[in-house]
A and B are shown apart, each in its own frame.
Chain A
Amino acid sequence: MTESSITRTARALDLIPFLLEHQGISVAELAAEFQVTQIQIMEDLNLLFVCGLPGYTPLELIDMNFEDGFVTVSDPQVLDKPRKLSKPELTTLLVSLEVMKTLAKSAVRKEISDLQVKLQSVLDRKPTIDVVVKESIDSKLEEILYAIEKGSALDIHYLSAHSDKESWRKIIPNRVYFEGRHAYVESWCITSQGERVFRLDRILELKLDAKAYVPGVENPDLGKVEEISLFVSDAARIFLEENASIIDATERVSNGYQVSVSAIDQGWLVRTMAGFGPEIAVIQPLALKNALSEHLASIRSLYV
């Protein structure tokens, strides 16, 4: 047993008020809720079963039943209310509310802000974790969210991320996420019959298409995934940080890292790597290495 008795005491004290509001919950659900094993929850219940107030006669003990795998509490003694929130609990909730507020529609923003004030009043000093989210909901995003809600399609005028070319596409947006400095729209692209992710700032224009679309069959053949291996020097470290989502593995080598990159658009990768000049080199495949040299050479030819 590695768990400290302090941790265990905390859970034991929190179990009873939780059970009072979740009478008849199964041991399995309870274990999942408290993120411990069922064996651990049974040990906790057995421990609480013999706890109570001085005197410790049946009348003074916590009265509960869990023999059939479902837990009910008939007498919590004095443990009828949850403990107050600790500072770390309050802090983490306040920080995530702050992010949610920034990304919420204006109607919801006020509600979350009132909630923050209520929580804040319990915390006796300024929170030590701050969050600053630069992005906020603009009209383009409002419209995309509306389309997601209604399951409608959108016609988007999109600037391709890998070829600097624009085109009109018909998409069914699915979800929006923020990563790094950008917002992305996960969608089913009707035009190309496949799942595609679009970067919000590259959507130049959009129009709601009120007709309903049934997504077609998924494009089954994405081709064989080629293994990409790069050398990234310490000076180009920011490449790793900004593109963490495409990096599968990093290995420390002298003056830098050897990284494996998962299958992504190679045109985009070439353009992004090129900005780091000699600080990023392609180890394999050869075709990618050549594409990078070509991109660099085309720029060089402008100046010499």
Chain B
Amino acid sequence: MADTKTERLVNLTLALLAAKRFLKKSEILRTVAGYEGSPESMDRMFERDKDDLRALGIEIEVGELDAFFEDEPGYRISRDSYSLEIPDLSPREIAYLSLAANFWKDSTLTPAAQSGIRKLKSLGIPAAMDLASTIEYRFENPKIALLEIAEAIDQSRQLEFEYQGSEVSKRKLAPYRVLLWNGFWYLVGLDLVKVEIRMFKLSRVIGEIKAVGKKNAFSIPTDFEVTSVLPTFEPDSLNTAKVAIRKGEAITLRSSGKLLSETELADLYEFNYDLAAPFLRTLIWYGDSVEILEPKELQNQIVALVGG
């Protein structure tokens, strides 16, 4: 069966694009191929078609009543708003964009990146070279539809989801940004229960993220920068531990600490750390080359972990 709806949408786009002036609805229904049936059903058809084209991002201009149109509004699509216009793209830039489009491999972002690059390839600018990247950035493949979240952010709609923290809980969020950080995806926004800016790892979201409520439900502070909420690993203002490292061992560990003193068998280092758990994991990695001397509390924690 022929796809009459698609055919009609294509024909309508062409007719509105070609129009040098606004076309009256009656004109459109009479001349564009595919409009058939009673006047009421053609009317409904036309209204739906306009919505569908707008959903594709095509702007249909409406010319309001004026003398020429008598009592009917007119429609057209301007060439400028329809067409891709990016000033002075160079062949090198097209090559970078091709590389950028292939970046997402097989993820939920792939279709948008691919359709984008197809349009750019239709500009008639040859790619300067075949750029092959010697550096690859691997990242967690998002299972969640990132672009739907991006749309909710655009529309300022709240999101609801279940999250695996120390326990599973329901979260409600005014979303500010989707973030790719250190190869993992995060959602950043105002937690509406805790009333503070929080970061959520998307791989810990259980099930779907749902957009709830009305559009324009909140506004993102104009000076919001995602870097302001990232945990910093600055070595000050944190906890300190004294650690003895056996001579000649745990060499990579040494570079993140400060040498305090040396004895015959071991070197004494001071380390600053943020959270006990990841710090202990690092120390345990080096086995019995590394002994915690202070604080006592951290010693107790390591003993508990290794099964004392």
The winner among A21, A176, A299, A300 for most chain B CB atoms within 10 A is: A299
B212 at interface, CB cutoff 8 A: no
Whether B134 pairs with A56 at a CB distance below 8 angstroms is no
B289/A271 in contact, CB under 8 A: no
A84-B134 contact in complex given A9-B52, A52-B14, C-beta closer than 8 Å: no
Q: How large is the interface on A (under 10, 10 to 19, 20 to 34, 35 or more residues)?
A: 35 or more
Given contacts A5-B52, A100-B103, A128-B150, contact A84 B252 (CB under 8 A): no
Query: Once the chains bind, are A5 and B116 in contact (CB under 8 Å)?
Result: no
Q: Does residue A284 face the partner (Cβ distance < 8 Å to B)?
A: no
* A302-B291 CB under 8 A given contacts A53-B15, A201-B252: yes
Chain A interface helix/strand/loop/mixed: helix
* Residue contact B305 to A277, C-beta cutoff 8 Å: yes
A210 close to chain B: CB less than 8 A: no
- Asked whether, in the complex, the Cβ of A304 is within 8 Å of the Cβ of B308, the reply is yes
> Which residues of B38-62 are within 8 A (CB) of A?
52-53, 55-58
Q: Are B118 and A81 in contact (CB under 8 A)?
A: no
Bound-state Cα–Cα, A112 to B7, Å: 40
Partner of A51, one of B7, B89, B287, B305: B7
In the assembled complex, the Cα of A111 lies from the Cα of B171 at a distance in Å of 41
B68 within 8 Å of A (CB atoms): no
B213 to chain A, nearest CB (A): 18
The residue of chain B having its C-beta at the shortest distance from the C-beta of A9 within the complex is B9
Range class of the B interface residue count: 35 or more
Task: Determine the distance from Cα of A9 to Cα of B58 in the docked complex, in whole angstroms.
Answer: 12
Given A47-B10, A96-B103, A85 and B119 contact (CB-CB distance below 8 Å)? yes
Q: How far is the CB of B306 from chain A (nearest CB, A)?
A: 4
Are B180's CB and A12's CB within 8 A?
no
Stretch at the interface among A114-122, A190-198, A212-220: A114-122
Q: A175-B134, A276-B281 are in contact. Are A82 and B183 (CB under 8 A)?
A: no
Q: Quick one: which of A5, A81, A125, A272 contacts B3, CB cutoff 8 A?
A: A5
A298 CA / B87 CA spacing, docked (Å): 65
Q: Which of A51, A118, A176, A276 contacts B14 (CB 8 A)?
A: A51
Within 8 A of B (CB), among A130-176: 130-134, 145, 148-149, 159, 164, 166, 175-176
Flag if A128 contacts B154 (CB, 8 Å).
yes
Selected interface stretch from B93-101, B190-198, B234-242, B257-265: B93-101
Q: Say yes or no for A251: interface residue by CB 8 A criterion.
A: no
Q: Contact between B137 and A133 (Cβ–Cβ < 8 Å)?
A: yes
Out of B122, B179, B252, B284, name the residue touching A271 (CB < 8 Å): B284
Assess the A179–B18 pair: CB atoms within 8 A: no
Known: A133-B182, A180-B184. 10 other contacts (CB 8 A): A22-B121, A51-B33, A56-B33, A89-B113, A89-B119, A118-B88, A181-B183, A204-B251, A298-B287, A300-B306
